[in-house]
């Protein structure tokens, strides 16, 4: 039985993006706002990356980038390509999404 999906988990993370061939995501849902005990409210969306469906808990820099391109309603982000960049914020590897070319 193939277990790679179980090892990868259901969320987009730095290791998954490092291994991604395309480094692009496409939002397939507008997402939901979830309350995280440590980080407060987070937008969690479903995305397709390299043919796989994952959940992505977007950080503030990503949401700001997408809102500047497509507006403050995440419903308008659905279907657009998002380039996934790996960078460091406060010494930690993080994923930052920027609008990709439509």
Domain residue limits, the chain: 4-99
Could you state, in chain order, the average pLDDT of each consecutive group of 10 residues for the chain (102 residues)?
78 96 97 90 96 96 97 97 96 96 80
Residue written as token pair 């996934």: 84
Give one DSSP letter per residue of the chain, joined into a string: ---HHHHH-SB--HHHHHH-SS-EEEE-S--EEEEETTTEEEEEEEEEETTEEEEEEE-HHHHHHHHHHH-S-GGGGTT-EEEEEEEEETTEEEEEEEEPP-
Q: What's this model's pTM, rounded to 2 decimal places?
A: 0.89
């Amino acid at each position: 039985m193939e277990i790679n999906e179980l090892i990868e988990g259901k969320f987009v993370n730095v290791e998954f993006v490092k291994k991604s061939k395309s480094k692009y995501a496409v939002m397939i849902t507008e997402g939901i706002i979830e309350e995280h005990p440590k980080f407060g409210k987070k937008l969690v969306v479903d995305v397709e990356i390299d043919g796989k469906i994952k959940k992505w808990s977007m950080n503030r820099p990503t949401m700001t980038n997408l809102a500047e391109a497509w507006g403050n309603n995440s419903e308008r982000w659905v279907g657009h390509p998002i380039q996934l960049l790996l960078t460091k914020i406060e010494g930690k590897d993080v994923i930052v999404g920027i609008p990709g070319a439509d």
